[in-house]
Amino acid sequence: EQKVAEALKASEHFKRRGGQDHIHLFMKYGQNVNPPLKELYEAGPLVATTDRSFWSISHNLPTPFKKGQVVLLPYVSSSYVDVDVDPSRRMDPTSWYFFRGTLFRRFGARTELVELGRQVTGASFEGHKMPSKGPQEDVLQNTSRLMRASSVCPCPQGDAPTSGRLFEALATGCLAIVMSPRDIMTNDLPFPSLIDWDAISLFSHSLEFLGTRTRGVARLAKQLERTVGPQADVHYKRRTGAMRKRALEAFHRHMSYFRNPEGVVSSMLFEAWILLQAKGVLEGPYVEALGAEKF
């Protein structure tokens, strides 16, 4: 890290704006940044990471997070889900609603998801937990196949408001139900200048909130059945079909690390370009509209 810091300080490109037009990719949750590299990163560069709210990342580099110098990236989806999908494919009525993950954990109110599964038609929520030890290939292959045959994928929060489930749903054409309020998720979704998230996913209250309300889960189940369930009327089916198609297109264009890595990089650089204009580091067509704000 000492050598990296020295090399950056000696770089004419880094000196140009004190590193403010550089991007530090911070992708490992357990990664520590030690002085003097930490001091250098805190002084200027943008931070690109997968989750604004994950504690260990924001704890390691507090200044960029506090000042809004963060560009969000999508999670890397498994190569089993990042494949071509026919948006008009036939859905499996026995797994119309699909969830992969543990239903019982210390936080997140996942037991409410169990209750939701009892109240909707064709829920496949159990038995799809990734093993904590041993090979995961069989589970990945099987659940990826099920997701491609499913219509609706609830995406509750994981260790943070977003999780890999959201991007797996987009990749497989399974309509994502983001189980966090839209206003809370605004700052936790990648590439907001390029992706209309309301056009490719639906948002609901969190499982914790639903659990505190009388018949909260029952009301959500009724709404889902009416609008995206297997017996929804033609109008809703056309709308959800269009959303799935847009989701697949958005994923391939901006979030596919395996099939379109150039798209991921281009999207990251575009968001960084807009952010640097908003911060007054660069000049460009978005400065007046956004209002320059110094780092």
227 and 142 within one domain: yes
Q: Which of 229, 251, 255, 82 is nearest to 151 (CA)?
A: 229
Q: For residue 80, what are its two tokens?
A: 């089993």
129 and 270 within one domain: no
58 and 18 within one domain: yes
Residues of the chain with pLDDT under 50: 291-295
With respect to residue 78, please indicate whether it lies within any of the assigned structural domains. Answer: no
Look at the chain and report how many structural domains it folds into: 2
With respect to residue 142, please indicate whether it lies within any of the assigned structural domains. Answer: yes
pLDDT of residue 139: 79
With respect to residue 136, please indicate whether it lies within any of the assigned structural domains. Answer: yes
Q: For residue 69, what are its two tokens?
A: 């110098």
Strand order in the sheet with 97-98: 123-124, 97-98, 152-155, 175-178, 201-203
Q: Which domain holds residue 213?
A: 93-255
166 and 31 within one domain: no
* 109 close to 129: Cβ distance less than 8 angstroms: no
* 57 close to 35: Cβ distance less than 8 angstroms: no
240 and 147 within one domain: yes
- Domain CATH number, residue 201: 3.40.50.2000
221 and 179 within one domain: yes
111 and 16 within one domain: no
pLDDT of residue 131: 65
264 and 250 within one domain: no
DSSP code string of 130-153: PPSSS--HHHHHHHHHHHHH-SEE
With respect to residue 88, please indicate whether it lies within any of the assigned structural domains. Answer: no
pLDDT of residue 295: 37
Give Cα 290 to chain centroid, integer Å: 24
Q: What is the spatial distance between Cα 243 and Cα 197, in angstroms, rounded to a whole number?
A: 10
**Extended strands (E) in 38-174:** 46-49, 70-72, 97-98, 123-124, 152-155
With respect to residue 86, please indicate whether it lies within any of the assigned structural domains. Answer: no
110 and 39 within one domain: no
With respect to residue 163, please indicate whether it lies within any of the assigned structural domains. Answer: yes
Q: For residue 87, what are its two tokens?
A: 């948006």
User: What phi and psi, each to the nearest 5 degrees, are found at residue 21?
Assistant: -100, 20
Phi-psi region of 231 (alpha: psi -120 to 50; beta: other; left: phi over 0): alpha
210 and 104 within one domain: yes
Q: Which residue has the tokens 């990236």?
A: 73
Q: What is the spatial distance between Cα 235 and Cα 22, in angstroms, rounded to a whole number?
A: 47
268 and 161 within one domain: no
196 and 113 within one domain: yes
pLDDT of residue 228: 97
Q: For residue 220, what are its two tokens?
A: 């959500």
With respect to residue 81, please indicate whether it lies within any of the assigned structural domains. Answer: no
What is the CB neighbour count within 10 angstroms for residue 38?
16
With respect to residue 227, please indicate whether it lies within any of the assigned structural domains. Answer: yes
DSSP-derived letter for residue 90 is P
pLDDT of residue 234: 96
